[in-house]
A = this chain, B = another copy of it.
Amino acid sequence: MAVGQETIRVDGAAKVTGKARYTDDFQMPGMRIAKYFRSTIAHGRVKSIDVSRAKALPGVDRVFTYEDVPDIMFPTAGHPYSLDPAHQDVSDRLLLTRHIRYHGDEIAVVVARDEVTARRALDLITVEYEEYPPLLNSKDVLAEGARRIHPQSGNLLAQHGFTTGGDAEEAKAASQHLIRGEYSTSIVQHCHMENHTALAYMDDPEHVVIISSTQIPHIVRRIVSQALDFPLGRIQVLKPYVGGGFGAKQDAVLEPMAAFLTMALGGTPVRLTLNREECMVGTRVRHPFEMQVGLGLTDEGEIKFIDFDAISNTGGYASHGHSIPAAGAAKVHYMYPRAVYRCHARTIYGNIPTGGAMRAYGSPQVHWGLECAMDDVAVKLGLDPMDLRLKNVARPGDLNSLSGKKILSCGLVECLQKARELIGWDEKRASLAKEQTGPVRRGLGVSSFSYTSGTYPVCMESAGCRLILNQDGSFAMQVGATEIGQGADTVFSQMAAKTLGVPVGWIRAVSTQDTDVTPFDTGAYASRQTYVGGQAVMRAADRMRTNILEYAGLISGHNPADLDLAEGCIVFASQPGTLVMSLKDLAMDAYYDKDRGRQLTAECSYKTRTNAPAFGCCAVDLEVDLELIKVRIKEIYSVHDSGKIMNPINARGQVHGGMAMSIGAALFEELLVDEKTGRIHNNNLLDYKVPTIMDVPDLNAAFVEPFEPTHPYGAKALGEPPIIPPAPAIRNAILHATGVAINHMPMSPKVLFKAFKSAGLI
């Protein structure tokens, strides 16, 4: 059947032929272009601004400054919303600001007839600043008497502390070995292909439409309502195809302003688009972390205690910052669930670009800390890193400390065993056991991970699907979950096709979400599409199946219970080869019979009240060229337990993409902050290095597939996890190759040079 089979993407042809419509493909008569005027300091206050020359430029419609926007503080994080005020997102920003919090902060906005005019107008704006020293790192930010970046809250945005799995002191006491290490990560950019862009207009004096490249149309609708104090039911958000987001579009970055502008201009269509340079700095980034990891082990290598402490720098605004270190730290525990886990996570403001959601949401940072520490302790105790993990990782029946429920499906042991076998771990480690000399050293490393499928029970999880039987027997399928390039529409089509007994091609996923009519779903994040969205798809499809068989019973005179759907036909359940009628004939009767029938539709809005951890690991075989300070990956294997794989082509693609991103983050990706000014040196794709085809080795993805009982098709998360384990595995392989523990990511040539030099290797 459709689920589990290699299935060509349903949006593939539209995308490769250029027919798929993205936000910038929407144009409107009379449309105006808006551009932000951004600060050229990282911290301070605007003393005065002069926009008169900009306003006077022919072709400029309007110029708005911080003085012209509503005095409404709003949040931007793409969370589902919580009825508990303590769990709501942080409202810490206005549409434009006089108080500058990062280099590039939005002070004013120009609306003009075209982009050239808008840019020329920006050049005519003059501003006088009162400048403060930028607070770029935790030491400065948290220093006694440090200037408050947000006066109302202070510089410590949030902190979370908890201990789970038992008593920390007892666990410590039971540990024969206690070690600590410090680990850190840098600012990483999503580098999605399609820049942030939104187009807003009014089609009624009381109704605003926003077409946006977003992962979260229904959440954007709610946030725009908050930001503008405008009724939610009068805001319509349309999400066409999206050219990647990776979390950067799980944030209401542009939409509140786009809506404000069209409303201020009496409904004139306004397009607000960022260029690449603005996207790199003025949207969202991955938070840099400073971590301290303590591990307590027995002589036998049993981990009794994990002590995790992190400081995350969210930059100028909260966005997702308050929740990310806690989220990342919480999800790591069920990798080693039998240890006592003590966690302390703080998020600070800083005068750097704003951190937001990014693929795996804190987990790459937390796993960097923990999985580096694992190999550090393995070295110290003389244990094989693979054996150390196999001894300690989760097994079915262990407790998921996040949900308080048992882990039902868990293939992490099998993942590690498969990786061990695929990479030839034992033979190679044995052959490399003697000390290596010479300019090229070789090493093997491994890292494992755990993650969640959606956000429950931390957040509400809701998904929706509606199916319509067309006259020709095909189906239209509306899902609230959003296709952003990850292949969600394909997997949903497969699921619906399986339940309805039709070929995948008979399901047409309506890929443009429209908050006026698309069933509610909070969007694409938290690797929730298949696991959470699939629940609604399955239920809607099952209802549709029931509707069809009941109608088939009505018009054929057979008992619906004796009928089944197969290959687009109604057949006898007991004789699947015997046709009762085709689905098309049934549909035509339902639509067009004068005296019976109706349009057959089925809808399901469903809150998922389960979660299921996904697991996996990565194993790397690499060479370190000490003279060239170059890391050459010879072989790399990521093995995932994401439950049953819905579409192997898609799944491999997800894993390959995550591996490439993690390799980039491991070895060279970082936004470089000028230590004096807070300015980002490499705000473009020439200077910010993402892996090219020359940097990416052959990528190997493998799966173990336990059936996850809480999901109708047995699936668990797969979208984000692939980005987690490669970086620490590479680090651990470098450690194996050179004996040098690199504790900072990225392990750029600069970092490696310094480390090798101080280790006396060069």
Q: Which A residues have a C-beta under 8 Å from some C-beta of B?
A: 11, 13-14, 17, 19-21, 25, 27-29, 80-83, 202-207, 222, 225, 231-234, 267, 456-457, 459-462, 464, 466, 468, 470-476, 478, 506, 508, 510, 514, 516-517, 519-520, 588-589, 591-601, 603, 605-607, 609
Which residue of B25, B466, B607 contacts A597 across the interface (Cβ within 8 Å)?
B607
- A234's nearest neighbour on chain B, judged by CB, is B508
Please tell me if the beta carbons of A603 and B601 are within 8 angstroms of each other in the complex.
yes
Which residue of B476, B516, B599 contacts A464 across the interface (Cβ within 8 Å)?
B599
Please tell me if the beta carbons of A14 and B205 are within 8 angstroms of each other in the complex.
yes
A13 CA / B203 CA spacing, docked (Å): 10
Which residue of B21, B594, B607 contacts A460 across the interface (Cβ within 8 Å)?
B594
Once A476-B233, A601-B603 are accepted as A-B contacts, the answer to whether A460 and B19 lie under 8 Å apart by CB is no
Once A83-B593, A233-B472, A233-B476 are accepted as A-B contacts, the answer to whether A599 and B205 lie under 8 Å apart by CB is no
A274 CA / B121 CA spacing, docked (Å): 41
Closest chain B CB from A96 CB (angstroms): 26
Closest chain B CB from A595 CB (angstroms): 6
Which residue of B11, B204, B478 contacts A14 across the interface (Cβ within 8 Å)?
B204
- CB-CB under 8 A from A594, the residues of chain B are 82, 456-457, 459-461, 607
Which residue of B474, B476, B517, B593 contacts A510 across the interface (Cβ within 8 Å)?
B517
- A506's nearest neighbour on chain B, judged by CB, is B233
Once A460-B592, A595-B607, A603-B601 are accepted as A-B contacts, the answer to whether A222 and B471 lie under 8 Å apart by CB is yes
A355 CA / B471 CA spacing, docked (Å): 28
Please tell me if the beta carbons of B233 and A519 are within 8 angstroms of each other in the complex.
no
- CB-CB under 8 A from A82, the residues of chain B are 592, 594
In the A-B complex, the 5 residue pairs with the smallest Cβ-Cβ separation, listed nearest first, are: A233-B474, A520-B599, A14-B204, A599-B605, A598-B605
A28 CA / B204 CA spacing, docked (Å): 21
Closest chain B CB from A373 CB (angstroms): 33
17 of the cross-chain contacts (CB-CB < 8 Å) are A13-B205, A14-B204, A19-B204, A25-B29, A80-B592, A81-B591, A225-B472, A233-B472, A234-B474, A459-B594, A460-B594, A468-B517, A519-B601, A597-B607, A598-B605, A598-B607, A601-B605
Which residue of B232, B460, B473, B601 contacts A471 across the interface (Cβ within 8 Å)?
B232
Closest chain B CB from A243 CB (angstroms): 15
Please tell me if the beta carbons of B603 and A607 are within 8 angstroms of each other in the complex.
no
Taking the full assembly, how many copies of this chain does it contain?
2
Once A462-B599, A517-B476, A598-B607 are accepted as A-B contacts, the answer to whether A203 and B234 lie under 8 Å apart by CB is no
- CB-CB under 8 A from A510, the residues of chain B are 516-517
Residue of A225, A232, A592 ringed by the most chain B CB atoms within 10 A:
A592
- A29's nearest neighbour on chain B, judged by CB, is B27
Q: List 14 additional A-B contacts (Cβ < 8 Å) besides A14-B204, A597-B607.
A: A13-B205, A14-B205, A17-B205, A19-B267, A83-B588, A83-B589, A222-B471, A232-B470, A233-B506, A459-B594, A468-B516, A468-B517, A510-B517, A598-B606
Residue of A80, A267, A508 ringed by the most chain B CB atoms within 10 A:
A508
- A469's nearest neighbour on chain B, judged by CB, is B233
Which residue of B457, B508, B593 contacts A516 across the interface (Cβ within 8 Å)?
B508
- CB-CB under 8 A from A13, the residues of chain B are 204-206
Closest chain B CB from A487 CB (angstroms): 16
Closest chain B CB from A538 CB (angstroms): 15
